[in-house]
């Protein structure tokens, strides 16, 4: 059990640190939401440059798709390194994916455009387009990595994992129903 917990801790840290790469990719690939500043009654206001643009939802979608890919890859890597399952391993994938998503979110926001949009609008000038801060509007996207990792790992274990010897006591035996008839 100690070995499994130690391996789970290593997996959790490794998966969580991959969040740095996810954050950089999200910052690099996500669409930019264009804003424009204006002066109204001697105070600065900021508007969407394209009020019907879909860039804001694209930011969330980009994060979600990248997180799903990272979840699938991390589950595949863990399965290939360790060909069996176990509760600590599954918990490590779930917790590591969540921590990685949180880290990616914070890094993407940190790398993205300035958070103070009024100051940014003043710096670029009246009527000039600039990018909005990178923002994750759909907080449920933070669960995408963990869910993808768990589903892919479950699928890999079902298809290629070791079989339960209690379920199939004889090699090649066909399971039987409670009345003794073959279930195949």
184 three-class SS = coil
Rounded to an integer, what distance in angstroms lies between the CA atom of residue 39 and that of residue 95?
A: 47
Residues of the chain with pLDDT under 50: none
- 69, 111, 133, 62: CA torsion to nearest 10: -10
H-only helix segments in 34-184: 55-81, 87-111, 117-124, 144-160
Which residue ranges make up each domain of the chain? 2-32+54-115+136-160
- Which helix (H) or strand (E) segment holds residue 17: the answer is helix 2-29
> What are the tens digits of pLDDT across the range 107-155?
999 998 888 888 888 888 888 888 888 989 899 999 999 999 999 999 9
- Which helix (H) or strand (E) segment holds residue 139: the answer is none
């Amino acid at each position: 059990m100690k070995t499994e917990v130690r391996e789970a801790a290593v997996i959790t840290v490794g998966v969580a640190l991959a969040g740095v790469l996810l954050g950089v990719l999200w910052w690099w690939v996500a669409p930019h939401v264009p804003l424009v500043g204006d002066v109204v009654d001697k105070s600065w206001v900021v508007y969407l440059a394209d009020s019907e643009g879909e860039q804001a939802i694209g930011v969330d979608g980009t994060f979600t798709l990248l997180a799903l890919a990272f979840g699938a890859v991390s589950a595949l890597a863990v399965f290939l390194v360790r060909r069996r399952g176990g509760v600590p391993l599954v918990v490590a994938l779930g917790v590591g994916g969540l921590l990685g998503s949180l880290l990616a979110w914070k890094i993407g926001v940190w790398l993205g455009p300035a958070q103070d949009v009024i100051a940014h609008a003043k710096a670029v000038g009246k009527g000039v387009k600039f990018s909005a801060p990178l923002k994750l509007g759909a907080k449920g996207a933070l669960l995408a990595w963990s869910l993808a990792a768990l589903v892919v790992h479950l699928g890999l274990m079902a298809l290629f994992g070791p079989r339960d010897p209690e379920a199939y006591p004889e090699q090649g035996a066909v399971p039987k129903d409670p009345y003794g008839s073959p279930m195949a």
